[in-house]
């Protein structure tokens, strides 16, 4: 347990480093929101100067960072100059939408990858394995851009699914059940696109983890004892393979906020992706920093989760303590 | 550190002398804590020219640490290693390089001691590349052939890679690699322990022949008393980083199993003269 | 793969394909039929021109030809062939000039038809620009970006990893903390953050190279960590200790024992990193953050598909996507072949 606490502290320190890095990086941007604003003929120079002073944009870097950190602890992430809203609320809302999408997608991907990988490992070399590998190679080679575009085409041609967005325009008038159905229809395409993107890597990892276990001597010994195949798989083989898959799972969880950027942009899903892209184009620093911090936190949390799960499931790690 | 030593006459039977060697270091654990480890405490021994000294002890007693110190892979915290009237620990790296040709270490695991990506020929020529990079190709070839002959290594192995050879053959390569620099002292760190019994005898005989021919000095580190008795003239026992006892190998009786812990009882028993001296011919006499 | 070929034949075919693909995109001027910026406002979104072998009078012609290509009626977008005009396909035809490298120009194209005939192998885009030519030029940009980015990432990461692993002690600790820091940042967001620093418009090729350079540098962390752990383990191997005991200098040990293995590791990583950086460039260009008009990149070509009518009606505009899939398949095969041959595990 002490080890976990130490790791948590280590990661928090990492988070501080990340925030510093991101902030410095973005403050180095030569253009800023105010430059574009100055070019706007409708905004007077006096207003620009006033805005700059108000947001402390002219202060030296360390002071800006310190003020930013202090304000974060107060829950204030800054103000988005292009959306005219506090950054915290904006980013959090978009992050929730992204999480809705990615959680379903990652769950779907894992639910497909586990049996796929296990089946391939069990029938290694057979036609199931070879066909499966070919399909996975094709899926792996297809970028998420293409998946999203093709699914969008499907929606446009058949009309079975809405071509983007998170909700239809009449959603406020619908009953609760209809609202859920509407959401599901809108979720379908992005979830499938994202799941197809992550599936091949997961399946290949599951396959190689299972093969590693199935070849191990301890399993042959267990089989020699006469343990039935099913039980062999689930009580003996899978738990050991799970060990190496846990870090992969941690990484999956960690990437929940960053993995769906392109899919969201193409399918107009109102998540973090489109927000960050627009913020980069508009030089809206605080939004980019907040979004990056959120996803870094997610990544670190995913790693911590993996550490925790490994601690719970792998008795070897626990015995090192004593 | 000690004062400068007096020059020792060349006919001195002691070729290398270890005096009061101590080694402390900090071991880093997984959690970044540092545990102080004392590997050697006040170790002193002498290597007699042309003879074999067996260094026995159970694992973890500091045998390998001592071996590494002797070839200067580790820097002792205290003490001296005296060779050719010089304290090796005080030498500059250039002078040290010359000394390194004379003292060689043969590892227990022959596979890891040879670079798997190199051919045997490249492996054998490595000492020449390090010490005599300007040597003419013809001379290099002559030295290579001579080393192979001495180690009874067939020339058809020269183009192979270490993974294609057996353990015994690899140890021959390791020995040949040392021979090519014409060493004076060989430190054999459990060099025979990973081999099967018949190969052990073969290599042991090779070592005996080489010692006779070239008047080589061996420090034979082992936990196998049978081999110690066969190869060594003197025995030194280590435990917990210290020298427990030293005595000539003729005192080793066949009663002794491979467990060096019993040596302790022998040396104490020696004082009370209750050892049974039963001669049993060794395998090759 | 279930294609019936001996493993050797299969491997050689794929190798030839790999090299041919890269040659084509290195010299897009020669292999294309037009320049990438040549517009033909009369023929927007025209489908690919068909090659015919049978003349209108029924004769079979060994040399394929195209008919004249016109819009059926003004602004309808429907195209039909004008059978009165016949343009045979020619090789090594004289066409629009292009630059091979800075300063050397040429105007011979591998194949084409004489004007006013038009050969649009992959149709045209909104401005009547030949998609096929744009795909070749775009391929050059995207693939070059992949290689440059990967090279820079491997170079910076490799050197840092080498120094860190070999020197050890505090240098190693500090470096590893930095690696952890960089790996705690999601790669795509880091990419965007870095992109935000650079000027918004990428006009010239030089600025583009700068962009890719920076993108490459931020990818230093993973190679550094892998190289460092390899160097650490190699450093402790008995054959290195033996060499050291024999008096070898650090330079000798690095050169003879450690670097060869590092090269093998870098090669394995390259096969994996190049597609990743190609995808990064395509992503950036797709979102309008990559190279600017009129220089095409597969990302900008694919971005056209975000328009509804293009997505639904003009199937030939999907060609860059298919090309990407084919490219990644080939790289995937190359990567697994290299891993088999070199035998360095990539965890």
> Which residues of chain A does B30 touch, with a Cβ-Cβ cutoff of 8 Å?
320
Determine if the peptide bond prior to C294 is cis (ω within 30°): yes
Within an 8 Å CB–CB cutoff, is residue B1 touching chain A?
Answer: no
Confidence of residue A322 (pLDDT cuts 50, 70, 90): very low
Q: What is the mean pLDDT of residues A239-252?
A: 85
Distance from CA of B33 to the nearest CA of C (A): 14
Within an 8 Å CB–CB cutoff, is residue A320 touching chain B?
Answer: yes
Confidence of residue B84 (pLDDT cuts 50, 70, 90): confident
Task: Report the range of poorest mean pLDDT among A8-17, A152-161, B273-282.
Answer: B273-282
Whether A319 has a pLDDT exceeding 80, the answer reads no
More confident residue, B37 or C148: C148
> Which residues of chain B does C261 touch, with a Cβ-Cβ cutoff of 8 Å?
117
Within an 8 Å CB–CB cutoff, is residue A13 touching chain B?
Answer: no
Whether C324 has a pLDDT exceeding 90, the answer reads yes
For residue A274, the model assigns a pLDDT of: 92
More confident residue, B129 or C119: B129
Residues 6+ apart with CB under 8 A from B116: B161, B162, B163
Q: What is the mean pLDDT of residues C101-125?
A: 77
Nearest to B97 among C239, C247, C257 (CB): C247
More confident residue, C103 or C137: C137
In CATH, which of 3.40.50.300, 3.90.740.10, 3.40.50.1820, 3.90.1300.10 is domain B14-111+185-203+216-279? 3.40.50.300
Q: Mutation test of the interface with chain A: which of C142, C146, C173, C188, choosing the one with the most A Cβ atoms within 10 A? A: C188
Percentage of the residues of chain C whose pLDDT score is greater than 70: 92
Distance from CA of A199 to the nearest CA of C (A): 16
Q: Where are the domains of chain A?
A: 2-86, 88-321
SS3 call for B92? coil
Within an 8 Å CB–CB cutoff, is residue A240 touching chain C?
Answer: no
For residue C207, the model assigns a pLDDT of: 73
What H or E segment, with its residue span, contains residue C97? Answer: strand C90-101
Within an 8 Å CB–CB cutoff, is residue A218 touching chain B?
Answer: no
> Which residues of chain A does C286 touch, with a Cβ-Cβ cutoff of 8 Å?
145, 262
Q: Mutation test of the interface with chain B: which of C170, C238, C243, C258, choosing the one with the most B Cβ atoms within 10 A? A: C238
Whether C159 has a pLDDT exceeding 90, the answer reads yes
Within an 8 Å CB–CB cutoff, is residue A22 touching chain C?
Answer: yes
For residue C279, the model assigns a pLDDT of: 92
Whether A281 has a pLDDT exceeding 60, the answer reads yes
Confidence of residue A36 (pLDDT cuts 50, 70, 90): low
Tokens of residue A289, six digits = 């920093």
Q: Do C248 and B130 touch (CB under 8 A)?
A: yes
Closest chain A residue to the Cα of B29, Cα to Cα: A320
Q: What is the mean pLDDT of residues C5-15?
A: 79
> Which residues of chain A does C197 touch, with a Cβ-Cβ cutoff of 8 Å?
25-26, 28-30
For residue C149, the model assigns a pLDDT of: 92
What chains are in contact with B, requiring at least 3 Cβ pairs below 8 Å? Answer: A, C
Within an 8 Å CB–CB cutoff, is residue B105 touching chain C?
Answer: yes
> Which residues of chain B does C260 touch, with a Cβ-Cβ cutoff of 8 Å?
117
For residue B8, the model assigns a pLDDT of: 46
Nearest to B113 among C239, C248, C257 (CB): C239
Domains, in order of start, for chain C: 33-135 (no CATH), 139-342 (1.10.3720.10)
Q: Find tokens 């928090």 and name the residue.
A: A12
Closest chain A residue to the Cα of C326, Cα to Cα: A141
C-alpha B26/C-alpha A188 separation (Å) is 58
Tokens of residue A6, six digits = 């130490």
> Which residues of chain C does B173 touch, with a Cβ-Cβ cutoff of 8 Å?
none
pLDDT digits (tens, 9 = 90+) for C179-221: 988 888 888 888 887 777 777 666 677 777 888 888 888 889 9
Q: Do A146 and C289 touch (CB under 8 A)?
A: no
> Which residues of chain C does B112 touch, with a Cβ-Cβ cutoff of 8 Å?
237-239
Q: Mutation test of the interface with chain B: which of C172, C244, C247, choosing the one with the most B Cβ atoms within 10 A? A: C247
Residues 6+ apart with CB under 8 A from A283: A29, A31, A32, A33, A35, A36, C196
DSSP-assigned states of every residue in C222-277: HHHHHHHHHHHHHHTSHHHHHHHHTT--HHHHIIIIIHHHHHHHHHHHHHHHHHHH
More confident residue, B64 or B255: B64
ipTM of the complex: 0.85
Percentage of the residues of chain B whose pLDDT score is greater than 70: 82
Distance from CA of A311 to the nearest CA of B (A): 15
For residue A147, the model assigns a pLDDT of: 93
Which residues 30-89 of B are in CB contact (within 8 Å) with A? 30-31
pLDDT digits (tens, 9 = 90+) for C274-323: 999 999 999 988 988 887 777 888 999 999 888 888 888 888 888 899 99
For residue C6, the model assigns a pLDDT of: 73
Distance from CA of A169 to the nearest CA of C (A): 19
Q: Do B131 and C246 touch (CB under 8 A)?
A: yes
Closest chain A residue to the Cα of C194, Cα to Cα: A25
CA A79, A80, A86, A87 dihedral sign is negative
- According to CATH, the topology of domain A88-321 is MetI-like fold (1.10.3720)
C-alpha B248/C-alpha B120 separation (Å) is 38
Within an 8 Å CB–CB cutoff, is residue A6 touching chain B?
Answer: yes
Whether A140 has a pLDDT exceeding 90, the answer reads yes
What chains are in contact with C, requiring at least 3 Cβ pairs below 8 Å? Answer: A, B
More confident residue, B279 or A71: A71
Confidence of residue A104 (pLDDT cuts 50, 70, 90): very high
Which residues 155-184 of A are in CB contact (within 8 Å) with C? 156-157, 163
Residues 6+ apart with CB under 8 A from A48: A34, A37, A38
More confident residue, C206 or A202: A202
Asked if C172 and A268 touch (Cβ cutoff 8 Å), the reply is no
C-alpha B210/C-alpha C256 separation (Å) is 30
More confident residue, A33 or A223: A223
Q: Do A130 and C190 touch (CB under 8 A)?
A: no
Tokens of residue A128, six digits = 């199931």
CA C303, C307, C310, C313 dihedral sign is positive
For residue B279, the model assigns a pLDDT of: 32
Query: 10 Å Cβ neighbour count for C72?
Result: 11
Closest chain B residue to the Cα of A7, Cα to Cα: B31
Asked if C66 and C119 touch (Cβ cutoff 8 Å), the reply is yes
Residues 6+ apart with CB under 8 A from A123: A129
Confidence of residue C37 (pLDDT cuts 50, 70, 90): confident
For residue A112, the model assigns a pLDDT of: 94
Within an 8 Å CB–CB cutoff, is residue C176 touching chain A?
Answer: no
Q: What is the mean pLDDT of residues C324-331?
A: 92
Instruction: Give the strand order in the sheet containing B78-83.
Output: B34-48, B14-28, B78-83, B86-87
Q: What is the mean pLDDT of residues A243-251?
A: 86
């Amino acid at each position: 347990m002490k080890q976990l606490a130490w790791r948590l502290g280590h990661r928090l320190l990492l988070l501080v480093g990340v925030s510093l890095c991101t902030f410095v990086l973005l403050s180095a941007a030569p253009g800023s929101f105010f430059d574009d604003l100055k070019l706007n003929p409708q905004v007077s120079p006096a207003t620009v100067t006033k805005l700059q002073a108000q947001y402390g944009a002219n202060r030296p870097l360390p002071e800006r960072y310190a003020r930013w950190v202090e304000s974060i602890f107060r829950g204030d992430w800054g103000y988005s100059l292009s959306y005219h809203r506090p950054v915290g609320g904006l980013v959090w809302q978009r992050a929730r939408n992204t999480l809705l999408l990615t959680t379903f997608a990652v769950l779907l991907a894992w639910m497909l990858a586990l049996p796929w990988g296990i089946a391939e490992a069990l029938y290694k070399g057979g036609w199931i394995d070879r066909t499966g590998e070919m399909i996975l190679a094709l899926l792996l080679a297809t970028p998420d851009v293409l998946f999203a575009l093709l699914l969008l085409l499907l929606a446009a041609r058949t009309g079975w699914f809405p071509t983007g967005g998170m909700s239809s325009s009449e959603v406020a008038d619908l009953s609760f059940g209809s609202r859920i159905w509407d959401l599901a229809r809108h979720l379908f395409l992005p979830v499938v696109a994202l799941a197809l993107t992550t599936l091949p890597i997961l399946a290949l990892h599951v396959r190689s983890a299972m093969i590693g276990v199935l070849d191990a001597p301890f399993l042959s010994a267990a089989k020699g004892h006469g343990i039935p195949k099913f039980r062999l798989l689930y009580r003996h083989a899978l738990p050991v393979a799970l060990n190496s898959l846990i870090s992969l799972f941690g990484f999956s969880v960690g990437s929940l906020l960053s993995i769906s950027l392109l899919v969201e942009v193409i399918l107009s899903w109102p998540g973090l992706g489109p927000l960050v892209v627009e913020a980069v184009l508009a030089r809206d620093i605080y939004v980019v920093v907040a979004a990056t911090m959120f996803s870094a936190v997610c990544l670190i949390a995913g790693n911590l989760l993996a550490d925790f799960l490994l601690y719970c499931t792998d008795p070897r790690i626990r015995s090192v303590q004593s | 550190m000690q004062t400068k030593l007096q020059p020792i006459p060349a006919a001195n039977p002691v070729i290398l002398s270890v005096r009061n060697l101590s080694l402390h270091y900090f071991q880093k654990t997984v959690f970044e804590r540092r545990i102080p480890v004392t590997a050697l405490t006040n170790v002193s021994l002498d290597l007699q020219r042309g003879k074999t000294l067996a260094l026995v002890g159970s694992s973890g007693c500091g045998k390998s640490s001592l071996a590494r110190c002797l070839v200067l892979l580790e820097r002792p915290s205290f003490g001296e290693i005296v060779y050719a009237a010089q304290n090796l620990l005080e030498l500059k790296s250039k002078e040290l390089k010359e000394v390194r040709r004379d003292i060689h270490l043969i590892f227990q695991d022959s596979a890891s001691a040879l670079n798997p990506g190199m051919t045997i020929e490249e492996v054998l020529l490595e000492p020449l590349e390090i010490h005599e990079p300007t040597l003419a190709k013809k001379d290099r070839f002559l030295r290579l052939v001579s080393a192979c002959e001495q180690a009874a290594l067939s020339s058809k192995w020269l183009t192979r890679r270490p993974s294609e050879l057996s353990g015994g053959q690899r140890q021959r390569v390791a020995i040949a690699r040392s021979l090519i620099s014409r060493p004076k002292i060989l430190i054999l760190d459990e060099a025979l322990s990973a081999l099967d019994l018949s190969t052990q005898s073969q290599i042991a005989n090779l070592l005996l022949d080489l010692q006779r021919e070239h008047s080589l000095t061996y420090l034979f580190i082992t936990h196998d008393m049978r081999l110690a008795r066969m190869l060594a003239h003197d025995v030194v026992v280590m435990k917990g980083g210290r020298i427990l006892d030293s005595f000539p190998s003729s005192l080793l009786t066949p009663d002794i199993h491979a467990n060096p812990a019993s040596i302790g009882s022998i040396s104490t028993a020696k004082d009370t003269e209750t050892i049974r001296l039963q001669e049993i011919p060794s395998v090759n006499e | 793969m279930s294609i019936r070929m001996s493993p050797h034949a299969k491997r050689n075919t794929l190798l030839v394909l790999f090299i041919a693909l890269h040659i084509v995109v290195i010299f897009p001027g020669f292999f294309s039929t037009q320049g990438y910026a040549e517009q033909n406002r009369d023929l927007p979104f025209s489908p690919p021109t068909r090659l015919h072998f049978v003349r209108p009078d029924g004769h079979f012609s060994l040399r394929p030809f195209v008919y004249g290509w016109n819009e059926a009626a003004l602004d309808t977008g429907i195209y039909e062939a004008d059978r009165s005009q016949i343009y045979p396909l020619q090789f090594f035809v004289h066409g629009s000039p292009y630059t091979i490298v800075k300063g050397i120009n040429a105007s011979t194209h591998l194949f084409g038809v004489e004007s006013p005939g038009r050969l649009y192998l992959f149709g045209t885009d909104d401005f009547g620009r030949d998609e096929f030519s744009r795909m070749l030029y775009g391929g050059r940009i995207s693939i070059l970006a992949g290689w440059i980015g990967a090279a820079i990432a491997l170079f910076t990461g490799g050197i840092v990893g080498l120094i860190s692993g070999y020197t050890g002690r505090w240098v190693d600790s500090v470096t590893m903390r930095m690696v952890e820091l960089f790996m705690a940042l999601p790669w795509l967001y880091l990419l965007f953050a870095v992109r935000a620093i650079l000027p918004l418009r990428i006009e010239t090729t030089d600025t583009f190279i700068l962009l890719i350079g920076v993108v490459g540098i931020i990818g230093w962390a993973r190679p550094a960590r892998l190289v460092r752990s390899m160097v650490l383990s190699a450093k402790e191997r008995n054959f290195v200790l033996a060499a050291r005991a024999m008096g070898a200098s650090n330079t000798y040990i690095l050169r003879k024992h450690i670097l060869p293995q590092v090269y093998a590791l870098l090669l394995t990583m390259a096969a994996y990193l190049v597609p990743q950086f190609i995808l990064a460039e395509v992503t950036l260009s797709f979102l309008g953050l990559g190279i600017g008009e009129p220089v095409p990149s597969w990302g900008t070509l694919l971005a056209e598909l975000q328009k509804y009518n293009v997505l639904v009606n003009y199937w030939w505009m999907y060609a860059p996507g298919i090309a990407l899939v084919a490219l990644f398949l080939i790289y995937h095969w190359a990567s697994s072949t290299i891993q088999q041959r070199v035998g360095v595990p990539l965890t």
